[in-house]
Amino acid sequence: MIQYLTEAWRHRPTHKRVWALAAPMILSNVSVPMVALVDSAVVGHLPHAYQLAAVAVGGTLYTLLTWAMGFLRMGTTGFAAQASGRQDGGALRQVLCQGLLLACTLAVLLIALAVPFSRLALSLMQPSAELNQLALDYFHIRLFGLPAALATYALIGWLLGTQNARGPLAILLTTNILNVGLDLFLVLGLQWGVSGAAWASVVAEWTGALLGLWLARKALRPYVGEINWPVLRRWTSWRPLLAVNRDIFIRTLGLQLVFFLVTVQGTRLGDATVAANALLLNGLLLTAHALDGLAHAVEALCGHALGARDRKALRRSLIVATGWSLVASLLFALFFFLAGDWFIRLQTNIEPVRDIAHIYLPYLALLPLIAVWSYVLDGLFIGATRAREMRNAMLIAVSISLPLGWLLQGLGNHGLWLAFLGFMALRGISLGAYAYLMNRHDSW
């Protein structure tokens, strides 16, 4: 086993293929939480803690909607990667079209449900009156960008599946740099406050979606083929994509439920506590998006290898990407352990929020080392379009961690963070068990 791992790690072409995909995706992914950091830094320097908390709560509600639709990217990547491995231009066009149509349909449905959903969610949180109104205003403005955000998910997933990492890099960097610039201009320049941060995101999301459409059209040129429109109108052509997306959707709902409950419980502990938790979770977002760059490489390379039926390439890609993910997670853990105070000070000058965040920094430092396993394994299962196992692993983790969180309520915010760490550990253990069983039975 050790000899096989060493041989795979020394395979230089695999390292080059992994980093050719991972490096652009890490750069583009890290720009996503950087927007949240800029939002926190800009709004965190406004006079009141409830303004920062409003962006945190409103952003959580919006993220709950968009991340719940994350299957639009993950499901599209696996099918596009396998079609690319077969050099099937017609299938690539069909996957792209289906992803965009599904994104537009879901955006309309979600917008119709979002307003009553937001009021119900805030009533569960029991926020202060000022926080309640500002969070609603922020969330409702962000809904104008929802169709663009979901379409961008499908476009990024499809481009990544074709092993085109520069396209997603261009989309996300354009979106997020524009978001940061508009954030500074609207919030600090025009004094629009929390609403300015929301409008900055809306404009940036539509810009990114339009750029993605142009890049997808360009990426299709090397692939010969046409969409079979009569087949596209048949239910059977949608069934595989919808089945995978259904399971990823359930998996993502479980994940978002945990993040939502963290926000709910934190809000009940006070405005300063929910703001402090939001600043710490920005650190997790930064870590997750960077490690997801390597996971995206696993998705594309493993999906391509499965489409080409190349078992050796599959194993090499997984081993090399896992090794680099472990290195990256260790670096993030050291960063938060050694520079966590600077990371918090960068985001806010509100002393009560800083003081609370400082207490819980050790939990943030542990998170990368615990969470890394689930990120890598997610990439493997997405590339293999084995969403059922991802769904089941998530449900196992949620079903155990929720009672754990209830039992630890007496510890206050410490109990909340301990339960969250337990949840992330259970995700990795469950996925690892499924991967072991599938490998043993040769069922990839």
Residue pLDDT, tens place only, 387-416: 788 899 999 999 998 888 888 888 888 998
Between these two residues, 133 and 209, which has the higher pLDDT value?
209
> pLDDT at position 376, please?
86
**Cα–Cα distance measured from residue 173 to residue 167, given in angstroms and rounded to the nearest whole number:** 10
Q: Give the count of domains, the chain.
A: 1
Residue 409 near residue 354 (C-beta atoms within 8 A): no
Report DSSP state, residue 162: T
**How far is residue 84 CA from its own chain's centroid?**
24
Q: What is the pLDDT of residue 430?
A: 93
Write the burial class of residue 432 (CB in 10 Å: 0-12 exposed, 13-18 middle, 19+ buried): middle
CA distance 355 to 341: 10
Residue 155 predicted with pLDDT over 90: yes
Average pLDDT over residues 3-27: 74
For residues 286 and 279, what is the distance between their CA atoms, to the nearest angstrom? Answer: 11
**What percent of the chain has a predicted confidence (pLDDT) above 90?**
16
Mean pLDDT, residues 45-53 taken together? 66
196: confidence class by pLDDT, cuts 50, 70, 90: confident
What is the per-residue pLDDT for 367? 92
Residue predicted with more confidence, 29 or 170: 170
Residue 183 pLDDT exceeds 90: no
Look-up: residue for tokens 């020394």?
10
In this predicted model, what pLDDT tens digit does every residue of 348-397 receive, in sequence order? 777 888 888 889 999 999 999 999 998 888 888 877 778 788 899 999 99
Scanning 233-309, the segments in alpha helix (DSSP H) are 235-268, 271-308
Residues spanned by the domain of 172: 2-440
- pLDDT of residue 123 exceeding 80, the answer is no
Please give the pLDDT value at position 275.
80
- Give Cα 168 distance to the centre of its chain: 14
pLDDT grade for 226, boundaries at 50, 70 and 90: confident
Q: What percentage of the chain reaches a pLDDT higher than 70?
A: 88
What burial letters (b/e) apply to 323-362, b meaning 16+ CB within 10 Å? bbbbebbeebbebbeeebeebbeebbebeebbebbeebbe
**CA end-to-end distance (rounded Å), the chain:** 20
Rounded Cα distance between 444 and 435, Å, is 9
Mean of pLDDT over the chain: 81
Q: Running DSSP on this structure, what letter comes out for residue 220?
A: T
* 50 — pLDDT class (breaks 50, 70, 90): low
- To the nearest 10°, report the CA torsion of 112, 115, 116, 118: 130
**Separation CA 195–CA 189 (nearest Å):** 13
In contact, 22 and 294? CB cutoff 8 Å: yes
CA distance 305 to 311: 7
What's the CA gap between 381 and 148, in Å, rounded? 27
Contact 425/373 with Cβ under 8 angstroms? no
- Which amino acid is present at 247? D
Assess contact for 413 and 277: CB atoms under 8 A: yes
pLDDT at residue 335, as a whole number:
94
Please say whether the beta carbons of 8 and 316 come within 8 A.
yes
Residues 385 and 242: their CA atoms lie apart, in Å, by 11
pLDDT of residue 420: 92
Stronger pLDDT, 310 or 215, i.e. the higher one:
215
pLDDT band at 287 (very low <50, low <70, confident <90, very high): confident
Residue 316 has pLDDT above 90, yes or no: no
**Helix 351-359 × helix 271-308 angle, to 10°:** 50
